[in-house]
Amino acid sequence: SAPNGAPIRPVDDPQARAEAARLLRAGALVAFPTETVYGLGADATDEEAVARIFAAKDRPRFNPLISHVPTAEAAFALGEPTPAAETLAAAHWPGPLTMVLRRRPGCPIAWLTSAGLETVALRVPESAAARALLAEAGRPIAAPSANRSGRVSPTTAAHVAEELGDRVALILDGGPCPVGLESTVVDLSGTRPRLLRPGAVTREQLEALLGPVELAAAGDAIAAPGMLASHYAPRAAVRLDATDRRPGEAFLDFGTTRADADFDLSPSGDLVAAAAHLFAALRRLDRPGVTAIAVAPIPAGGLGAAINDRLRRAAAPRG
Ligand code: TXA
Ligand code: MG
């Protein structure tokens, strides 16, 4: 294992996978190999577990995460398949392709996982050991690359140990990743397929199956997912650093500053809990009759940076 760090165990060892599945179901972080890069995994349906992904990566903003599942059937139980999605699944799943689909009603994927969006990103990885782990976990596993924010994506267990050995419960080792580059992300939730992130499955391969595939415009999904026009923003205005409640406003508290708050992101002032509840709370308070959501001050440190980034975007003038 890594010095002062998580144990590293072979992904081909069924007992190691059983332990990893148990840890994931309990809300812990587990790094695991896929054919593209190592993923920093957490239960995609557990908002606090997903918040811990962002904390572990020191990520300054919340972007939507990919949920990994063992089969296309499991994927299409979460996101609405379109004919194009069925075609791509038949040709490229399992494999280094992620599809963005509309959420099905009742989809259990946490709002933090999808950064508040009505769509979910789904992938069935090629690696048989990874799929065995996902089947055993029995729930979708959110997993960005297992590196700290701003660092290169890890393609060996040793890289993961260097980056995050002190922040995960277990590292599964599957040797070097054969692809070494993140999956292709294609958005099938709109009228035309759009390539959001290039990867091992090429645009030419997609177009051979689907016909024309639009490219995401420069500077959107890849450079700044939080700026996407489709990114979730409440209908109501958002007022930051609020200490009072004005007529027509709902009050979103942090650390119990007001007794009459509509919701408290974390009564005890815990930023992981606040991140976990942020998108669900904005949705809950963004209801008819509410002209603005007043938000209590959120501290800047740790996950506070990502929470404040999201709130500033929600509060910015709409174009
Ligand atoms: O190869 C990979 O895909 C690796 C391994 C571990 O599987 N995972 C990975 O995950 O790169 P992540 O969560 O970092 O990738 C997120 C990408 C971003 O480009 C994000 O903007 C896009 O997927 N994405 C996720 N959900 C989306 C959504 N609902 N709408 C649009 N884009 C989405
Ligand atoms: Mg990454």
CA–CA separation, 54 vs 50, rounded Å?
A: 7
Our measurement of the distance from residue 289's CA atom to the centroid of its chain's CA atoms, rounded to an integer in Å, reads 31
CA–CA separation, 169 vs 264, rounded Å?
A: 29
* CA atoms within 13 A of residue 67's CA, in its CB half-sphere: 35
Query: b/e map of 99-130 (b: 16 or more CB within 10 Å)?
Result: bbbbbeeebbbbbbbbbbbebbbbbbbbbebb
Give pLDDT tens digits for 174-190.
999 999 999 999 999 99
Give pLDDT tens digits for 88-102.
999 999 999 999 999
Mean pLDDT computed over 141-157 = 95
* 219, pLDDT greater than 80: no
161 Cβ contact partners less than 8 Å away, ≥ 6 residues apart:
1, 2, 5, 6, 8, 171
pLDDT value of residue 53: 98
Which amino acid, 55? A
Q: Which domains does the chain have, with CATH numbers?
A: 8-227 (3.90.870.10), 237-315 (3.40.50.11030)
pLDDT value of residue 233: 81
Counting residues of the chain whose pLDDT is more than 90, the rounded percentage is 87
Question: What's the mean per-residue pLDDT of the chain?
Answer: 93
Give pLDDT tens digits for 121-131.
999 999 999 99
pLDDT value of residue 229: 43
Q: How far is the CA of 183 from the centre of ligand 1 (A)?
A: 8
Banded model confidence at residue 226, pLDDT cuts 50, 70, 90: very low
Q: Per mean pLDDT, which range of 92-106, 110-124, 130-144, 226-240 is the poorest?
A: 226-240
pLDDT value of residue 49: 98
* 59, pLDDT greater than 90: no
pTM higher than 0.80 for the full model?
yes
Atom of ligand 1 nearest to the CA of 197: 19
Ligand 1 first shell, C-beta below 6 A: 34, 36-37, 39, 63-66, 98, 100, 114, 117, 119-121, 123, 143-145, 182-183, 185, 187, 196-197, 221-222, 225
